Amino acid sequence: MRVLMNTGRSIRQGSYVERKNSQAYYDEASACRMHPVDMMDLGVEPGEHVRATGPAGSVVLHVLPADGVQRGEVFVTLGPYANHLVDAETRGTGMPDFKSTSIDLEPTGEDIATVAMLMEACGGVQYRGRDLE
Amino acid sequence: MKVVDVVCPFCGCLCDDLVVEVCDEKVVKVENGCTLASEKFLGDHRLQSPILREGFGWREIGYEEAISVAADILLAADLPLLYGWSGTHGEAQSVGVHLAEVLGGVIDNTSTVCHGPSILAIQEVGHPGCTLGQVKNRADVVVYWGANAIEAHPRHMSRYTTFTQGFFVKDAHLARTVIVVDTRRTETAEIADEFVQVEAGYDYEILSALRAIVRGREDVISGAVGGVAKTQLIRVAEICKRAKFGAIFFGLGLTMSAGKHKNIRNAIELVEELNRHTKWTISPMRGHWNVYGSNEVFTWISGYPFAVDFSRGIAFYNPGETTSVDILRRGECDACLVVGSDPGAHLPRACAAHLAKIPTIQLDPHVNATTHLATLQIPVAVSGIDAEGTAYRMDGVPIRVQKLVETKFPDDTEVLSAIYRRVREVKGQ
């Protein structure tokens, strides 16, 4: 299913923004909020996983129903999961298309990567030290 | 010990009425703050010492070695990028600009991926803005456009608009009309008197339609624009024209969606149209607590608010070319210093990949996404908790954030000044 991805702040994302390696941040930043009817069309229940593929790559998310999101759109909080999909092209403005990236969704049984795993996929090295959370 | 009138260093509201209880050099209680403030003050998840990446592992090092490594990395680079700055105080931002100049690098702040387009629009057509105090005391119509205040700036409505009494607006909750324009029915939309649900990407067209109606040319508007009925657009325009004092607050729903800076320009020009009938102002909902300060500090030193390139020996500014996302996407910088921000989490994947490729130094109190990309992280004190300094509220009012507890961590200004001194020493200055 092709949808338009919107990104932005949520109160939970903001609350855990200084604990990006915590379970709470992982749960919030990897949530894909979509209209319940679109969920039905896609054949997914709340909490099930989808593979999202955008112009920059692909990432696994879990879905949550959200009546306030219009059909054909999804909302993912700003963060490393959404940014795994957003292209870095800015069309001469300096600003990527954070609120208007077309992505494809398909149901999957795959696990959701942690923030550290996503950064490793970008070429980084996971820090596993004592102050991780 | 209770400390009163504490300033919250989280979002651009810089609420200055918090009461914080401190016990044994630790914050133990926060009153008056929102959820974000409580997490900020009570969170205690600091990285305890500088860490240096070695191969596929990390080694804890001392501050002296960390500063020396950081200076060496920056000195060896042809084009270092100094990115972030919205999460630190003005004094550190000032050292950052001088460091960028002496290195011949690029310095950019996070407004490049939040209200950078707003700045471009303001440079085109000006900014009919005002302080939040004016809005609180006078506004009887408030518009939130592409801004979910309840989740991003939780006390904005209770301190400055819907839920607070003003000098000329006594019964605020009833006397103020709130209009919310958004693609999503957000929490903020739920309490609006008028919610305008826009089809994604049609803000520009809707602003143009409102301008036409305010000009008396509703005849040129079709039955619906961007998913909004003409009847609702006419009703909204009438509410705006009847206002005694109106204030538009806009968020990233305008700056990041199709049209970007042209959306903001159109919104400012709508305000210009409305000002032929009554008094209106428009202001960006600045996100990070001192992102406005980074624009101010960069401007009063270099002449430009963000994306400042010193590689020519003079300050050069060309958003789209000298902006961080573009520089990282093109792989132009060969080292990066990150201060008070997390580009690993908040820039597109290609940018994170380039940060992992080059030596990246991060000054941040916490382990975040960028930590896993960095070569070196230096933990610093948190401005507003264990460091003090100047910040600029979203309306441009400078406010001093306090040091509430003693700490073992140096603050951003101290670390950056040490790096700056070392760089100048090596350059023989």
- Compare all CA atoms of chain A with the CA of B46 and give the residue at the minimum distance: A131
CATH label, B47-114+289-426, candidates 3.40.50.720, 3.30.950.10, 3.40.50.740, 3.10.20.30: 3.40.50.740
Nearest to B256 among A84, A95, A115 (CB): A95
Instruction: Find the mean pLDDT for residues B20-24.
Output: 95
Q: How far apart are CA A43 and CA A50, in angstroms?
A: 10
Per-residue pLDDT tens digits for B298-357: 999 999 999 999 999 999 999 999 999 999 999 999 999 999 999 999 999 999 999 999
- Residue B43 pLDDT grade (very low, low, confident, very high; cuts 50, 70, 90): confident
Rounded alpha-carbon distances, angstroms, from residue A114 to A22, A77, B80, B93, B267: 9, 15, 29, 32, 39
Instruction: Find the mean pLDDT for residues B14-29.
Output: 95
* Inter-chain CB proximity B366 and A9 less than 8 Å: no
Full-model pTM: 0.96
Q: In this structure, what token pair is assigned to residue B112?
A: 């490049």
Nearest to A96 among B154, B348, B365 (CB): B348
- For chain B, what percent of residues have pLDDT higher than 70? 100
Parse chain B into domains and list their residue ranges.
47-114+289-426, 116-284
- DSSP 8-state secondary structure symbol assigned to residue A113: P
Instruction: Find the mean pLDDT for residues B145-171.
Output: 94
Instruction: Find the mean pLDDT for residues B49-69.
Output: 96
CATH number of A2-121: 2.40.40.20
pLDDT score at B66: 98
- Residue B174 pLDDT grade (very low, low, confident, very high; cuts 50, 70, 90): confident
Q: How far apart are CA B112 and CA B395, in angstroms?
A: 18
Per-residue pLDDT tens digits for A19-70: 999 999 999 999 999 999 999 999 999 999 999 999 999 999 999 999 999 9
Whether the CB-CB separation of A103 and A75 falls below 8 Å is answered with no
pLDDT score at B280: 98
Which top CATH class is B116-284? alpha beta
Instruction: Find the mean pLDDT for residues A113-128.
Output: 96
Q: Does A133 score more than 60 pLDDT?
A: no
Per-residue pLDDT tens digits for B351-404: 999 999 999 999 999 999 999 999 999 999 999 999 999 999 999 999 999 999
DSSP of B201-221, one letter per residue? T-HHHHHHHHHHHHTT-GGG-
Instruction: Find the mean pLDDT for residues B284-290.
Output: 97
Nearest to B348 among A9, A69, A83 (CB): A83
User: In chain B, which among 194-213 make CB contacts under 8 A with chain A?
Assistant: 197, 199-201
Contacts of B373 in chain A (CB under 8 A): 119, 122-124
- Residue A130 pLDDT grade (very low, low, confident, very high; cuts 50, 70, 90): low
